[in-house]
Amino acid sequence: MPIAEEFLERLRTHTDLRAGYAEEFLHPTLGGAGTVAVLSRPLGPSRPVAFVLCHSLGQEFVHLSRFDTTIARTMSVAGFPVLRYHGQGYGDSERGASDISLTSHLTDATDAVALLSGQEGIETVGTMGARFGGLVAAVVAARERLPFVATWEPVTKGAQYMRNFVWTRLFAEWAGTVEGAGVDELLETLETTGQADIKGFLLTKRAYDEISAIDLSRELSRFAGTALVVAIARGENPGPGLVRLAEGFRALGATCDLEVLQDDLAAEFGNFHFKTSEMAKVDTQFELNQAIADLTASWALRHVDATFAAGEDGRA
């Protein structure tokens, strides 16, 4: 049977006329190997700034995928193209999970910035990301001197993130949800075999060591653009780590908005967030995701318009 190439070609794009965005499915080379990416664009007038959406690590990549989609589409409807992708070791990328590291995340994101910069109608590129993806977005924005970065509950200290990552099994045991956490055993496995399974994610010793060594405050020495830091909390106060991050941005001469989005299930951000009732499976973060996306689009509209009205080209 002949392959209907024209038909297949049509499937490379998806248009939502009612919402006002179109998505194109790409097969780029990022991080030295093939992978898949989705470029969301506005159906209406496009603004000159586009964003690369950096995904998070391990299970957070899965748990935040719906969030990433909401962000990309909402930003597109507001006029900002967004590129999201599967980094090497994730999803439909060519390489395996053992290749995942801080370096792989940074390389993939940097290549994605270059890819997006070459797309028609895009003058300037910024980065965005949640949790570990936020750390990646901020580091790439600083290293590449990008003008805009948006982060949601970003990881600021790699060492703390990795220790918490390993301790999740222990905490679950204390809370009575699993038995036999065996953190010592897990760390020994990581040390002796060079890798360990953590909640279904293959964490390598290389990734553990690399991520443990990064401190975002030391990586931002060059960022002088415009930043958004979003804290997701039950109460009205952002965590001390995010307060320090925002102060760090400002000390460098950057403009930084620190916003708090209050949600009763704030602790679930980046974690499993579905609840099964008798009738249906409910995404407990559906509304929160949209609220974060709306806040981010509003931030981008405010600052991008101000930057370009001032006649700046946006480079930091």
Partner 1 sequence: MNGEVVTKLSRYITDELLVKRGVEVTDGTPLMDGLIDSLGIQRLVAFIEEEFDVMLDHSDMIPENFTTVRALEGLVQRKLGGAAASESATG
Interface residue list for partner 1 (CB under 8 A): 157, 159-160, 163-164, 167-168, 170-172, 174-175, 177, 183-184, 187, 233-235, 237, 239-241, 244, 264, 266-268, 271
Q: Nearest approach, Cβ of 81 to partner 1 (angstroms)? A: 34
Q: Nearest approach, Cβ of 239 to partner 1 (angstroms)? A: 6
Type of residue numbered 202: L
Q: Nearest approach, Cβ of 212 to partner 1 (angstroms)? A: 11
The region, left, alpha or beta by phi > 0 then psi within -120 to 50, assigned to residue 121 is: left
Q: How far is CA 17 from the centre of its chain?
A: 26
Here the tokens at position 142 are 């600083």
Cα–Cα distance for residue pair 155/56, rounded to 1 Å: 10
Question: Judged by CB, which is closer to partner 1: 120, or 184?
Answer: 184
Q: Nearest approach, Cβ of 261 to partner 1 (angstroms)? A: 13
Question: Judged by CB, which is closer to partner 1: 73, or 157?
Answer: 157
Alpha carbon distances (Å) from 160 to 43, 69, 113, 123, 132: 42, 28, 28, 37, 12
Alpha carbon distances (Å) from 291 to 46, 100, 309: 22, 31, 27
State the alpha helices, DSSP H only, in 92-155.
102-117, 132-143
Cα–Cα distance for residue pair 90/211, rounded to 1 Å: 17
Cα–Cα distance for residue pair 55/72, rounded to 1 Å: 12
Q: Which residue has the tokens 């060594």?
A: 213
Cβ atoms 20, 81 nearer than 8 A: no
Question: Judged by CB, which is closer to partner 1: 33, or 159?
Answer: 159
- Measured N-to-C along each axis, helices 183-193 and 205-212 cross at an angle, to the nearest 10 degrees, of 110
SS3 22: strand
CB atoms within 10 A of CB 253: 10
Question: Judged by CB, which is closer to partner 1: 66, or 169?
Answer: 169
Q: Nearest approach, Cβ of 55 to partner 1 (angstroms)? A: 20
Please report how many Cα atoms fall inside a 13 Å half-sphere around the Cα of residue 240, on the Cβ side.
0
Question: Judged by CB, which is closer to partner 1: 46, or 262?
Answer: 262
Question: Judged by CB, which is closer to partner 1: 185, or 305?
Answer: 185
Question: Judged by CB, which is closer to partner 1: 47, or 157?
Answer: 157
Q: Nearest approach, Cβ of 181 to partner 1 (angstroms)? A: 10
| Phi, psi torsion values for 33, nearest 5 degrees | -150, 165
Q: How buried is 205 (Cβ within 10 angstroms: 0-12 exposed, 13-18 middle, 19+ buried)? A: middle
Q: Nearest approach, Cβ of 83 to partner 1 (angstroms)? A: 30
Question: Judged by CB, which is closer to partner 1: 139, or 162?
Answer: 162
Q: Nearest approach, Cβ of 262 to partner 1 (angstroms)? A: 10
